[in-house]
Structure 1
Amino acid sequence: MAEDHHKSSTLLQLEIALSKRIAIAIAVMAALIFLVWFFRIPNPNMILISGLVMCSALFGFGGGIAAAVIMFGYTLFFFSADHSFIRFSPENLMKVWASLFGIAADMLFVCFLKAAEMRAFREISRLTEQLRQQKESVSTLLNHMPVITFSKDAETGVYLACNQAFADYAGKNSPEGVTGLSDGEIFDGKTAEHFATDDRTALIMEKPYEFFEEVPDAAGNRRQLQTTKLKFREPSGRQCLLGMSLDVTELARIRLENAAAREAYEKARSSGIMFTHIAQTLAQGYTELFYVNLETQEFREYHTDEKDSGLAEVRQGQQFFAECQRNIGEQIYPDDRESIAGLMNRDTLLASLKKTAPLIVTYRLLRNGAPCYVSMKISRMKDDERFIVIGVTNIDEQIRHQKAMEQIREDHVAYTRLSALAGDFICVYVVNPATEAYREYNSPAGYESLRLPREGREFFAHARQRIRDCILPGDLERFLALFTREGVMAEISRSGVFVLRYQLVINDSPVHALLKAVLVEENEGPRLIVGVINVQTQVRQEEEYRMSLARAQEEARIDPLTGVKNRHAYLEEETLIDRQLAESAGENAPELALAIMDVNDLKEVNDRKGHQAGDQYIREAAGIIAGIFRQSQLFRIGGDEFLALVRGSDYARLEDLLQEMRDHNDRALREGGIVIAAGAARLEGDPSLAPVFQRADKIMYADKKRLKAARSI
């Protein structure tokens, strides 16, 4: 009703204003007509048309029509014969029509311009009213917000605006009472300086300055405020400061009263985070995790991300054991299908878990048509036995390495046994350690060139003298230094046996010999047994064994698909370099860099053409990388990821090699081919290779993103 009354009042005001304008227009035109009539002006229309234009322009349609009617009436009076208003000469009738058209054209043209002006004025009035309403709305919003808001001139510290809450805090009746004042003019000196200090801090910060403060209100009561201040610049260029404060006095009181509850919450939250971290850490190494409800057979499947090792849920499903049975034929290696099918039965699994918990099973999956060893660990939840957790770990590399090492150890044991059976003694002496009296126990035919008496005294002196004639010159000095009575007895006392290896010249040929001495108790007392054994065959076999061991170890470090070194080999190399860096303490660091390459689109090739095509794709990619990094050690550290340990000439030409890789990728994108993302980083004062790897990996992923964007164009 108030709104209707306002509209009625407005209409009444408009009607009054219109009536006044028409009356003024009539008066103006009447005055002009009186003027031209009184002075007998021969052509009055020039003056009257000016009056009509003025009335139309000033008073719009209403005034213009009134002025036009009066002017046309005078025109009829002026041009009619005897001022009859109705009788005209032909010439004057034409003037009347011309005046009529002129009056109409003037009224229409000028009044339409006035109407456009009025419409523009009304639109401006409407927008002004909207702006006023919006300002009132914003002002109402700010005044009803439970926060204190204000803005200041950063240079003068004068308040530019605030809401009612700040005005109340400042002891003013309205925000207008605050505008134009500074802190010193509103608050006491201590409070004003406190605010000014916070303002200076906020003005030098590039982000909002947030803090808690305790200040007195207008009544002198201490209040706790959570305040945020930030600087901003107006379009005019003036630097300003915006402030918002939330009164948290009651909240602080509640927090103090509930400190015990908060401490308990924080402890529980900390424990939850800790257990989450423990779960994430224990999940590292698992390729797949399943959380299974034994009653409903519903399950959740999780995978671990290769980059950050975090758990990620990939799907939820029903009938876990039925799905396992369906997948066995496709995913399990044929020789292991029967045992896994028998195990992955609900009743069988429950019975096994009652006997052994947790249950750990090793079997083989089918990967690219080849067996891959995995370990499956099945655990039942202690607090809720309806659920089990199944974790699958890829242990293929460990199993194969273990088998290779077991084979090497078996070969070594067999070799040792054969060597023991094939022992070839040159001679054996029994020596009295007290008197050095000796007797030869055995001297096979063919070794007479030693020329040591079969019996005698001063065993060590005779042996040291005669050995000069039959030992290789390079071993003589070492033999004389070690083979003394004191040295032999001391070593036997320490380790139980004295061993010395050297080379003899027998029948003009060098022969590897092993001298062993042990102390035994006989009826006559302690005796020193000294034997010289021909170990020529053993040395040759040991050399062959070392070569075989080296080959086996090398094969264990080679990726069978591409022929380059594998991840295990790189980890060994990384450990060696890290040790060197640690020992050198950053001094004389080697010149080396890491280049990481990632082969794009391998999954697409596997999906479209099969895994054999994917294997060929990887081999060809390895050939491309090896052709560019010719002087570098190349490793395959993942399914589609390679690493080059760059040294020497490749290190000096690293930028050229990366450009060569980019040129290859550009051709591959244009003509079709294998695209390989690459990134490299140099060792630059790093304590280990890990930071270098991280920098190179980051650059490689940026290049991978660029290449994918280029392919999609």
Structure 2
Amino acid sequence: MENFTFDKDIQTAYEQLLHPIAIFHVTEEGVKTVVVSRGFCELFGYADFEQAYKDMENDSFTIVHPDDVNRIKTEMRRFLTAEGRYEVIYRSNQKDETPNKLLRSETKFVHMDNGVVLAHVWYMDESTDVNQKIIDLAQSVTALLTNMPAMTFSKDVLTRKYLACNQAFADYAHKETPDGVVGLTDFEIFDEDTALHFIEDDKKALAMDKPYIFYEDVPDAAGNPRRFQTTKLKFVDTTGKECLLGLCQDVTEAMQIKKEYGEKLAYANDQAQIDALTGIRNKYAYNELEQKINDRIKKGIQDKFAITVFDVNDLKKINDTLGHQAGDEYIRNACKYICTKFRHSPVFRIGGDEFVTISEGEDYENIDEILFFISENNKDAKRTGGMVIAFGMSSFSDNDEDVASVFMRADKLMYENKNELKKS
């Protein structure tokens, strides 16, 4: 089909329009340019009409960025079939030295009586508004990063150079401003070990399809120890460059506070388990160990053990005749004696004059010998008026479901021994 043309006067009138417009003849063979306006030439960087028509004659889509051509053609075919008008946004392909522009074009298809289909296209330059929005956005992001307490940075994956960072990261790198960091690598900022550490973390992040979150202990550029909660993730920028984004929250002081709190809590817990009079563990500590052993018994992983219950005879008599200070000293001496015999077992004071030991390992294997010495000491003490300590011991067996059953047998044997010592 022969290309459509306007009368000379109509052609000239269209060409003199200052608004960017173009009219195309749409055929089955393709799209041919009919007329372009003066505003069209200025928008796309053509020096004159001759240059514009010559360029457009070879390819009417030459004004469209190559990456957007297929999308424009698809949209055009879709709306041409529907005999409608459409609006589309795309990048220009400038013919001068100016940067590509972001355009919004509105197209209306006109079906002539002779079967000719003309596409009337109006062009609007959206670059100014978009650029301003980008500038405003960049300023907002910069302000956000600058005021973020967390350190933020981005790196180029191939060169490992820092592309951007906020002031918090610049401070960590001991640079006055973020500009002092941009373009440098880790080796140019930190010591070799720290730089290699960062690179290994980068590799882990790049190998993951989700953010890599971890804690790390690394020094700053001045060598001061720091602890961070770090998040790293990969992304591709608008140019197709693979980059790495990092967000580091300095938790050094928080972790130190947590450590100190933990130490204080542990100390307070230890103090809560210490008997103030004797310095050994108290009933609270015994109950806690009892629960742990019960858990092991339920799981069937508890080793053999023995419980020995002690009662110091004549404490009431000493308190009544010599005073409570003498009674306290009597209890401390009894405690020292029991601890010297049970060197490898925890000893607990569970009452005024009651003690208990839980023996495993070496003390369990030698329990009979240990108790024999205490029994012999009781005989001598009865003759000389020394300290007498009644005791009862029982071993854990397969029939026992918990520590309490072993304790009850040992406690019963202790009272039997106490009565025997009083009779003799």
TM-score (ref. length: structure 1): 0.32
- SS in structure 2 opposite 1:486? coil
Match of 1:607 among 320, 344, 357: 320
What are the within-5 Å matches in structure 2 for residues 291-690 of structure 1? 427-429=151-153, 439-442=164-167, 443-445=169-171, 447=173, 471=194, 480-481=203-204, 486-488=209-211, 499-507=213-221, 509=223, 511-516=225-230, 531-583=247-299, 585=300, 588-685=301-398, 686-690=400-404
The 3 A distance-change label for structure 1 pair 539 and 660 is same
User: 1:445/1:537 Cα in 2 relative to 1: closer, same or farther (>3 Å)?
Assistant: same
SS in 2 for 1:674: coil
- The AA in structure 1 aligned to 2:416 is A
Distance 2:179 2:339 in 1: 62
Counterpart position of 1:174 = none
Tell me if the contact between 1:598 and 1:676 (Cα under 8 Å) persists in the aligned partners: yes
Tell me, yes or no, if the aligned pair for 1:518 and 1:529 is still in contact at 8 Å.
yes
Query: Which amino acid counterpart does residue 428 of structure 1 have in structure 2?
Result: T
Query: What is the distance in 1 between the residues matched to 2:365 and 2:247?
Result: 57
Which residue does the alignment assign to 2:411? 697
Whether the 8 Å contact between 1:426 and 1:447 is mirrored in structure 2 is no
SS at match of 2:166: strand
Q: CA deviation at 1:696?
A: 1.0
CA distance in 1, matches of 2:328, 2:215: 51
1:634–1:643 contact (8 Å) kept in structure 2? yes
Judge conservation of contact 1:425–1:531 (CA < 8 Å) in 2: no
Paired residues of 2:283 and 2:350 also in contact (CA < 8 A): yes
Q: Is the 8 A contact 2:228 2:252 kept in 1?
A: no
Instruction: Tell me how far 1:602 sits from its aligned partner.
Output: 1.4
CA contact under 8 A between 1:447 and 1:506: conserved in structure 2?
A: yes
SS of residue paired to 1:620: helix
Distance in 1 separating the partners of 2:397 and 2:219: 54
Equivalent position amino acid for 1:696 in 2: A
RMSD: 3.9
Q: Greater share of helix residues, 1 or 2?
A: 1
Query: Which structure would you say has the larger Rg?
Result: 1
Structure 1 Cα separation of the partners of residues 414 and 336 of structure 2 = 19
What is the CA-CA distance between 1:485 and the residue it aligns to?
Answer: 6.5
**Equivalent pairs, count:** 254
Deviation at 1:505, TM superposition (A): 4.2
Which string of whole-angstrom CA distances, capped at 9 and with x for unpartnered residues, describes residues 604-626 of structure 1?
22222222222122111111111
Q: Which position in structure 1 is the counterpart of 2:5?
A: none
Shift of 1:513: 2.5
Alignment deviations for residues 267-307 of structure 1 (CA, whole Å, 9 cap, x no partner): xxxxxxxxxxxxxxxxxxxxxxxxxxxxxxxxxxxxxxxxx
User: CA separation in 1, counterparts of 2:392 and 2:357?
Assistant: 10
Indicate the SS of the match to 2:210: helix
* Map 1:164-175 → 2, pairs under 5 A: none
| Distance change >3 Å, CA 481–CA 601, structure 1 → 2 | farther
CA positional deviation for 1:478: 7.2
- Per-residue CA shift, 1:66-114, capped at 9, x if unaligned? xxxxxxxxxxxxxxxxxxxxxxxxxxxxxxxxxxxxxxxxxxxxxxxxx
User: How many angstroms apart in 2 are the aligned matches of 1:596 and 1:656?
Assistant: 16
**Residues 483 and 576 of structure 1, relative CA distance in 2, 3 Å threshold:** farther
Q: Deviations over 1:133-179 (max 9, x none)?
A: xxxxxxxxxxxxxxxxxxxxxxxxxxxxxxxxxxxxxxxxxxxxxxx
Q: Distance in 2 between matches of 1:446 and 1:512?
A: 10
Instruction: Evaluate the alpha carbon distance shift between residue 664 and residue 501 of structure 1 in structure 2; reply closer, same or farther with a 3 A threshold.
Output: same
Give the match for residue 366 of structure 1: none
Q: In structure 1, what is the Cα distance between the partners aligned to 2:298 and 2:314? A: 39
Q: Deviations over 1:201-241 (max 9, x none)?
A: xxxxxxxxxxxxxxxxxxxxxxxxxxxxxxxxxxxxxxxxx
SS of corresponding position for 1:702: helix
Offset of 1:675 from its aligned partner?
1.0
Distance of 2:259 and 2:396 partners within structure 1: 38
Q: What secondary structure does 1:515 align onto? A: strand
The structure-2 alpha-carbon separation of the partners of 1:538 and 1:589, relative to structure 1 and needing over 3 Å to count, comes to same
Task: Say whether residues 1:706 and 2:420 are aligned partners.
Answer: yes
- In the TM superposition, residue 447 of structure 1 has moved relative to its aligned partner by 1.6
> In the alignment, residue 486 of structure 1 is paired with which amino acid?
D
Distance in 2 separating the partners of 1:564 and 1:454: 58
- Are the aligned partners of 2:216 and 2:228 in contact in 1 as well (CA < 8 Å)? yes
Query: Aligned partner of 1:605: which letter?
Result: I
d(CA) in 2 for partners of 1:485 and 1:543?
31
- Any conservation in 2 of the 1:511–1:534 contact (CA below 8 Å)? no
Distance 1:692 1:599, change over 3 A: same
* Native 8 Å contact 1:581 1:687 kept in 2: yes
The within-5 A match list for 1:191-210 is none
Asked if the contact 2:227–2:250 (Cα under 8 Å) also holds between the matched residues in 1, the reply is yes
The match for 1:99 is none
What CA distance in whole angstroms lies between the structure 2 residues aligned with 1:573 and 1:580?
Answer: 11
Asked whether the 8 Å contact 2:202–2:232 carries over to 1, the reply is no
Letter in 2 for 1:671: T
Task: Give the C-alpha shift of residue 551 in structure 1.
Answer: 1.4
Q: CA deviation at 1:645?
A: 1.3
Q: Confirm or deny: 8 A CA contact 1:634 1:642 kept in the other structure.
A: yes
What is the identity percentage for the equivalent residue pairs of Structure 1 and Structure 2? 31
* Distance in 2 (alpha carbons) for counterparts of 1:692 and 1:473: 58
Q: Aligned equivalents of 1:509 and 1:548: distance in 2?
A: 29
CA spacing shift, 1:645–1:535, aligned 2, 3 Å: same
Greater RCO, CA 8 A, separation 6+? 2
Give how far 1:543 is off. 3.0
What is the CA–CA distance in structure 1 between the aligned matches of 2:313 and 2:336, rounded to whole Å?
Answer: 15
Instruction: Label 1:481 to 1:649 Cα distance change in 2 as closer, same or farther (>3 A).
Output: same
Kindly provide the CA deviation profile for residues 364-402 of structure 1, in whole angstroms up to 9, marking residues without a partner as x.
Answer: xxxxxxxxxxxxxxxxxxxxxxxxxxxxxxxxxxxxxxx
Q: Provide the rounded CA distance (Å) in 2 between the counterparts of 1:473 and 1:692.
A: 58
Unaligned runs of 5+ in 2: 1-147, 156-161, 234-243
Q: Conserved in 2, the CA contact under 8 Å of 1:502 and 1:514?
A: yes
For 1:580 and 1:701, the matched residues in 2 are separated by: 29
TM-score normalised according to structure 2 size: 0.51
Which consecutive unaligned segments of at least 5 residues does structure 1 have?
Answer: 1-423, 432-436, 457-461, 489-497, 520-527
Q: Whole-Å Cα distance in 2 between the matches of residues 474 and 446 of structure 1? A: 16
Change (3 A) 1:666 1:481: farther
